[in-house]
Amino acid sequence: MKATQNADSSSARTSKWFYQCSGNGAEPTLAGAKCSDCAKIIFPARDMCPACGARHRMSIVPLSRVGKLLGYGISLRSTEYLDAPYAFGYVMLPDGVKVYTLLVDCQPFEMKLRIGSEMEVVTGRVLNPNTGEREPVYMFRPVS
Ligand SMILES: [Zn+2]
């Protein structure tokens, strides 16, 4: 698979997707943004609140590492950065954030992907065709 999932958390910490973790053994978590006016939490982080329209009121917050699978699809066609078949879908976090994500460590799909089952965030690398670099990205996998 061209996308590789690994435990390269140091590089993940330099990525815009991830919260800056501290402490030994801290697992990377996704970086959301919370509105100080209405408390809405969003991902990915932006500077404007989509709920109340406030600007410059968003602060970066770590999101929950585990959520529930809302739905998924299987692609049977490879792209320049992913080998088929691969799965993608939506994971709902307890923070109220719905994350669109690549799903890994989930084959056979019909056995490991169950709507409503718990999924955890992991880091991986996917080739960016624009830069030729394998860049750290987030992915979710079933909680074993
Ligand atoms: Zn708001």
Q: DSSP letters along 72-100, please?
A: EEEE-S--SS-PSSEEEEEEE-TTS-EEE
* Ligand 1 center from residue 116 Cα (angstroms): 28
Confidence (pLDDT) at 128 = 82
Asked if residue 9 has pLDDT above 60, the reply is: no
CA of 63 to the centre of ligand 1 (A): 17
pLDDT for 2: 60
pLDDT bracket for residue 135 (50, 70, 90):
confident
Give residue 32 CA to ligand 1 midpoint distance, Å: 13
Protein residues with C-beta less than 5 angstroms from the ion ligand 1? 35, 37-38, 40, 49, 51-52, 54
Are 103 and 113 spatial neighbours (Cβ–Cβ below 8 Å)?
yes
Q: What share of the chain in percent tops pLDDT 90? A: 61
Segment 29-42 mean pLDDT: 94
Higher local confidence (pLDDT), 31 or 25:
31
C-alpha 39 – ligand 1 centre gap (Å)? 6
Per-residue pLDDT band at 119 (split at 50, 70, 90) = very high
The answer, as to whether pTM is greater than 0.85, is no
Strands 41-42 and 31-35, bridge-based pairing:
antiparallel
pLDDT at res. 25? 53
57 — alpha (psi -120 to 50), left (phi > 0) or beta?
Answer: alpha
What pLDDT digit, counting tens, does each position of 56-99 carry?
Answer: 999 999 999 999 999 999 999 998 888 899 999 999 999 999 99
Spell out the domains of the chain, with CATH numbers in brackets. 64-142 (2.40.50)
Q: What is the CA(34)–ligand 1 centre distance, in A?
A: 8
Distance 44 CA to ligand 1 centre (A): 15
